[in-house]
Amino acid sequence: MRATRLAWALAGWLVAGLPAGAAVPVPPARLAALVDAAAERYALPGIAVGVVVDGEVVLRHTRGELRAGEGEAVDAETLFKIASNSKAMTGAVLARLVDAGRLRWDDPVVRYLPDFRMYDDWVTREIQVRDLLIHNSGLGPGAGDLMLWPSPNAFTRAQVIEGLRHLRPRWSFRARYAYDNTLYIVAGEVAAAAGGAPYDTLVRREVFEPLGMTRCQAGAWERDAVGNVAQPHARLEGRNTVVRGDDAMIPDEPMMAAGGLRCSLDDMLRWAQAWLDPEIGAPGRPWLSAAQREAAWTAHMPMPLTARMRAWDRSHFSAYGYGWRLTDVDGTAKVSHTGTLSGMVSSLVLLPEQRVGIVVLINGDADQARTVLTQALVKQFVATDGGAHDIDDYAGRLEAERGTADHTTQPETDDAVAIAPAAAASLAGRYRDPWFGDVALCPRDGGLRWISMRSPKLDGDVVAVEGGLQVRWRAPDVDVDAWLRPTPVNGRAVSLQMAKVDPDADFSYDFEDLALVRIGDCD
């Protein structure tokens, strides 16, 4: 079997076509103990973890609260933001439409969205439905994500799609992998055009309802009417604190098809079972055809094979399918994805040959906990080296890895002082970026303020530090400050470029893609 799996990895064979083997028996108590150890080590506000083996749920384990300190417990029906695990569901909606003859993967996008444009006219003509799902557009990582978050903001889905025509590519079309969210929004609108209904209606009709995912939510909905909704948390001053908590009405945000769905642990376990069991659905009529299952798990776009994947998993390849990441771990095929939004993370791992699915949902900024716990859980089913493979093991490896990373590119910025009056006068004005919209850089509260007209949380103070000017955002949950680099002409800034102060920060803060040009004076 190892030779077969390696051949699949190297030649792009399909996971769906590989024979299934028996999963390694793992006591549920051992799995639950790993969850408990991770929750305690990382002081998680709430967590829900489930494992399915050979079609049966062998673990449902939940801990913590919907809102830290308020006493309402997380359970298997609690709704979490699944973030980018929504992408595979968008891919499934399109796959169901392909099965129904409503579209084809190689159809041009403009067949369904005639006004759609990319920066390059040739790309506009050539980009196909399949390209929207596999991160090969030539745009930089997270390009245009400032139209999606920090939320809430005033961008509409139509404005996000219109903004794509102004985003300059960094590489040639289909030349390399670079993760994006904005093209999944386009994919959702293609599905709506082909399916004759809005995206939220389609994902309920094609995914939630046939698979019995009864708690999943899409589109606009009322928080209290649905109930049992986990809130996002950050670790502030040593405590779990709700950040970007939900209002009474959850809006139909533009990013729905890219990362805006919410589901419970039980929903996600049903989702995992649907992919592990090709026959699921009505008798003689599977939910998804074999051809579309294979298309979803085909290695359409090569991805970088990281040093961690080699060291931890002995992986031989990495690639992207239709909303899925594909690789191998200890000689076993692995299909997975993660989801990350401010204050909440998720993970879904499928081991198709062993018919194992693992779901992790956490309502905290807990990417390290997710990495460590998911890794430890997966290893219980695949590891053959007799190692510890527990929380302490992988937490130690991760801390050592991060401790040896080179952080010299992020300068010390504690020397911030108020911007000089002459510099403030040269910068003050109104600026516009063709995709992000208008920004005011104007005197306020005794200093110079940077305020976005469409993204109100991007409201910050301009300060001077060694090395230049920075914008320090006022909202505590906007945690990536930005360099501000003006281009002066005759002592007055005519344009502004920006960049993350920490170049390793979340790429969705894509300040580097902004090209702000002065359009007038401050009011």
How far, rounded to the nearest angstrom, does the alpha carbon of residue 395 sit from its chain's CA centroid?
22
DSSP state of 217: B
Tens-place pLDDT, residues 45-91: 999 999 999 999 999 999 999 999 999 999 999 999 999 999 999 99
Mark out the alpha helices in 85-156 (DSSP H runs): 86-99, 121-126
pLDDT digit string, tens, across residues 338-382: 999 989 999 999 999 999 999 999 999 999 999 999 999 999 999
How would you write the pLDDT of the chain (523 residues) with one tens digit per residue? Answer: 333 343 344 444 444 444 556 677 899 999 999 999 999 999 999 999 999 999 999 999 999 999 999 999 999 999 999 999 999 999 999 999 999 999 999 999 999 999 999 999 999 999 999 999 999 999 999 999 999 988 889 999 999 999 999 999 999 999 999 999 999 999 999 999 999 999 999 999 999 999 999 999 999 999 999 999 999 999 988 999 999 899 999 999 999 999 999 999 999 999 999 999 998 876 778 999 999 999 999 999 999 999 999 999 999 999 999 999 999 999 999 999 999 998 999 999 999 999 999 999 999 999 999 999 999 999 999 998 888 899 999 999 999 998 765 443 444 446 888 888 889 999 999 999 999 999 999 999 889 999 999 999 999 999 999 989 999 999 888 889 999 999 999 999 999 999 999 998 888 999 999 999 999 999 8
Residue 152, preceding peptide bond in cis (omega within 30° of 0): yes
* Residue 233: both structure tokens together: 């948390």
Structure tokens at 3: 């030779």
How does DSSP assign 389-417, residue by residue? -SHHHHHHHHHHHHHTS--TTS---TT-E
Q: Which domains are assigned to the chain?
A: 2-402 (3.40.710.10), 417-520 (2.40.128)
Q: What is the pTM of this model?
A: 0.93
User: Residue 5, Cα to own-chain centre: how many angstroms?
Assistant: 28
* CA distance to 70, 80, 158, 257, per residue, from 64 (Å): 10, 13, 39, 29
With vertex at residue 120, the alpha carbon angle to CA 114 and CA 126, rounded to the nearest 5 degrees, is: 55
Q: Which two tokens stand for residue 360?
A: 């992790």
